[in-house]
Amino acid sequence: MQLLKILYDYVETTYKAYPLACKPGCSLCCTQKVFATSIEAYYILDILSEKDLEKLFQIENYLRPKLTHNQILLSYKEGSEPHIEEIPESLEPCPFLTEEKLCKIYERRPLMCRLTASTISCEKGFAELPPFLFQISTIALQLVENIDLGGLYGNIFDLLKFLYQYKKGLVEEIPDYLLNTVDVDELPILPEEKDLRKWVGNLYRIPVKDEFTFRELLQKLRSDFKNYEALSFLKEIF
């Protein structure tokens, strides 16, 4: 969880350096199309009330990813065109939006939400993200999936429902619409992209705990994971 929080904070600090139009009450991008990892869902589940969860079980027919973010990256790397789900013209608003159009889980919102921003007000009908922020968003989504070794990937609402039911002992099998996370260590950075390389390097050098840096702890997780079965994280977090 420490790696997740560090990644969140680092991304947020980077975004704050840009003149973004996003402000409290701006919620056009707050839809039910939110893809995330199981560790992100677990981080949110901890603060939800029974009433919040009841509301989640009332929504359905939202978009589900056919591939994880890292699977898409691998497809492009191999020279093939990944199958991306078609996004409808209109999407239902996120159930975590309050009547004031504020995010009820803002402090723990998934990375996908944190990366969605624009230098132009979305009320004009389109969004514009600075090229560098678009680049780091691709890297950050890859890293958050790498952090969740042996975990799951899918729509955040599916993940929350599943983790809640699993914790209660109501389900034992993972539904087929939740995907296994994929670890891809190689980052899509070109040699000439020095600013992007510096951004990643600074993240990797952030101290975490027990004299480990972000990068060292991530590598340790990879090494330790070899001794575990896939999805064994469920037994450890509950």
pLDDT value of residue 234: 58
**Counted domains in the chain:** 1
Mean pLDDT of 153-178: 93
Gap between the Cα atoms of 168 and 45, Å rounded: 13
pLDDT 10s digits, 54-64 = 999 999 889 99
133 in Cβ contact with 14 (< 8 Å): yes
Beta strands (DSSP E) in 92-172 are 152-155
Strand partners, 155: 35
Residues in the chain: 238
How far is it, in rounded angstroms, from Cα 49 to Cα 56?
11
Q: Determine the pLDDT at residue 109.
A: 96
The number of CA neighbours under 13 Å toward the Cβ of 43 is 21
Model pTM above 0.85: yes
Give the model confidence (pLDDT) of 14-55 as tens digits: 999 999 888 888 888 899 999 999 999 999 999 999 999 999
Q: What are phi and psi of 112, to 5 degrees?
A: -55, -40
Tally the C-alpha atoms within 13 A of residue 189's C-alpha that lie toward its C-beta: 20
How far apart (Å, rounded) are the C-alpha atoms in residues 192 and 172?
48
Residue numbers of the domain that contains 9: 2-237
Q: How many CB atoms lie within 10 A of CB 195?
A: 11
Maximum average pLDDT range among 19-23, 144-148, 168-172: 144-148
